[in-house]
Amino acid sequence: MTGIPTIRVESACATGTAAIITAYNMIKSGFRDSVLVIGAEKMTAVDSAVATTLMARAGDLRWEFPFGCSFPGYYALMATSHMAEFGTTKEMLSAVGVKNHHYGAKNKYAHLRKEITLEEAMKAVQIAYPLNIYDCSLISDGGAAVLLTKESMAKKYTDTPIYIDGIGMGSDTMRMSDRASLSELKGTQTAARSAYKMAGIEANDVDIAEVHDCFTIAEILAMEDLGFYEKGTAGPAVLDQQTYIGGKIPINVDGGLKSKGHPLGATGISQAVELRKQLLGEANDRQVDGASVGLSHNVGQTGQFVNVMIYSRGN
Stretch that binds other proteins, among 9-17, 177-185, 254-262, 266-274 (CB under 8 A): 177-185
Spatial CA neighbour of 146 closest among 306, 296, 302, 314? 296
Q: Is 84 or 153 the residue whose CB approaches other proteins more closely?
A: 84
Is 284 a binding residue for other proteins by CB under 8 A? The answer is no
**Rounded to an integer, what distance in angstroms lies between the CA atom of residue 62 and that of residue 73?**
17
Residue 61 Cβ, how far from other proteins at the closest point, in Å?
6
Is 195 a binding residue for other proteins by CB under 8 A? The answer is no
Among 3, 66, 246, 290, interactor with other proteins by CB under 8 A: 66
Is 179 a binding residue for other proteins by CB under 8 A? The answer is yes
Is 57 a binding residue for other proteins by CB under 8 A? The answer is yes
Catalytic residue among 82, 102, 262, 297: 262
Among 176, 195, 257, 299, interactor with other proteins by CB under 8 A: 176
Other beta carbons within 10 Å of 124: 17
Name residue 37's beta-bridge partners.
146
DSSP 244: S
Stretch that binds other proteins, among 50-58, 184-192, 208-216, 281-289 (CB under 8 A): 50-58
CA pseudo-torsion sign 264, 88, 191, 102: positive
Is 89 a binding residue for other proteins by CB under 8 A? The answer is no
Decide the pairing of beta strands 293-300 and 208-210. Answer: parallel
Among this protein's residues, is 69 annotated catalytic? Answer: no
Phi, psi of 201 (to 5 degrees): -130, 175
**Rounded to an integer, what distance in angstroms lies between the CA atom of residue 284 and that of residue 300?**
30
Among 22, 52, 194, 292, interactor with other proteins by CB under 8 A: 52
Alpha helices, H only, 162-263: 186-199, 216-225, 234-239, 256-259
Catalytic residue among 13, 101, 136, 212: 13
**Rounded to an integer, what distance in angstroms lies between the CA atom of residue 167 and that of residue 272?**
13
Other beta carbons within 10 Å of 314: 14
Residue 62 Cβ, how far from other proteins at the closest point, in Å?
7
Among this protein's residues, is 102 annotated catalytic? Answer: no
Catalytic positions, written as ranges? 13, 262
Point out which residues bind other proteins (CB under 8 A): 48-50, 52-53, 56-57, 60-70, 72-73, 76-81, 83-85, 125-131, 175-179, 182
